[in-house]
Amino acid sequence: MTNKHILEGFSHSKHINLPVDDIKLYKNIKLISDIFLTAIGHFPNAKYHYVSRKKGIPDETILIYCADGTGWCKMRNKKWIINTHDLIIIPYGEPHIYSSSSNKPWSIFWMHVSGKRINEYLKLLNVNAGKPLLSIHKTSEILYYFEKIFTNLQNTYSIHNLIALSALLAHFLTQINLHKVTGFFKEASISERIKESINYMKNHTNTSIKLSQLAAISSMSIPNYCYYFKKFHKDSPISYFLHIKFQKACNLLLTTNMQIQNIALSIGIDDAYYFSRKFKKFMGTAPSIYRDNFKQNKKII
């Protein structure tokens, strides 16, 4: 029997820890201080995952959702078995140990949250160190909120973004309570999920995006995402993304004096000749002619 223990660093895992100085700042901002995130992550197939904190974490409550596999958590000399679809909440300052099972390693989504009103949310959910488990079978909805929070946090740590994330986190916890009380979880519609991926496209026109990223943002498998995207928008996700890129290029051609090479770079294309060929394919004319015709007040298309 192995005694191997791993804290983090699992294959295909991802996590974000907010800077300590930023967390100190959030505690003094009223619109954030009630509840805010300090860390978030996803550990898939986390074999040998093991964490022991003899004093807990003074100002952070831990939420761990088991999307697959099993694990366990020990608090106050009681061991809790965590199965697929279980959410365990470890209150701040509570000594604990948790671990993935050895024969069926868990895949978990986790958050560390803090704030002046965290106790009120724990009371709302009716959880504590003696009763930390909730069962939530709406895995797709948990993943939707997780990906939304994670993606927004990746973009920026700005105050405006953190205020929005604080509200989103509060909404997430109240939806968990709604599910606990009524069995209902307000499901984000498929169209709303697709819209989230389109917003991500619009904010990342200067990069390339994998189909798997867009599907994950929408909390869908790649085949389902492609099916519903085409159903709603009559186009494939990648083709739609290219249209967004070239719409941006058109706008820059008409409203700025940027060189064509720099416009190409702004939409993630480092070859100006390739950009010109693709532009002509999309718009029916070369970018330089498109700009000149506009200046001469000629109709292009």
What are the tens digits of pLDDT across the range 271-296? 888 999 888 888 888 888 888 877 66
Residue type, 153: L
- Contact between 161 and 16 under an 8 Å Cβ cutoff? The reply is no
CATH at residue 198: 1.10.10.60
Residue type, 160: H
Domain assignment of residue 259, yes or no? yes
pLDDT bucket at 216, cuts 50 / 70 / 90? confident
Domain assignment of residue 82, yes or no? yes
Considering the domain architecture, whether residues 148 and 38 belong to the same structural domain is answered as yes
- Contact between 212 and 254 under an 8 Å Cβ cutoff? The reply is no
Which of 251, 204, 207 lies closest to 263 in space, CA to CA? 251
Considering the domain architecture, whether residues 175 and 200 belong to the same structural domain is answered as no
- Contact between 105 and 49 under an 8 Å Cβ cutoff? The reply is yes
Considering the domain architecture, whether residues 125 and 233 belong to the same structural domain is answered as no
Domain assignment of residue 7, yes or no? no
The total number of structural domains in the chain stands at: 2
CATH at residue 157: 2.60.120.280
pLDDT bucket at 8, cuts 50 / 70 / 90? low
Considering the domain architecture, whether residues 206 and 164 belong to the same structural domain is answered as no
Range 128-143 average pLDDT = 83
Considering the domain architecture, whether residues 282 and 208 belong to the same structural domain is answered as yes
Considering the domain architecture, whether residues 28 and 171 belong to the same structural domain is answered as yes
Considering the domain architecture, whether residues 129 and 262 belong to the same structural domain is answered as no
Give the residue from 147, 182, 217 where a domain finishes.
182
For residue 298, the enclosing domain spans 189-301
Kindly report the pTM of this predicted structure.
0.62
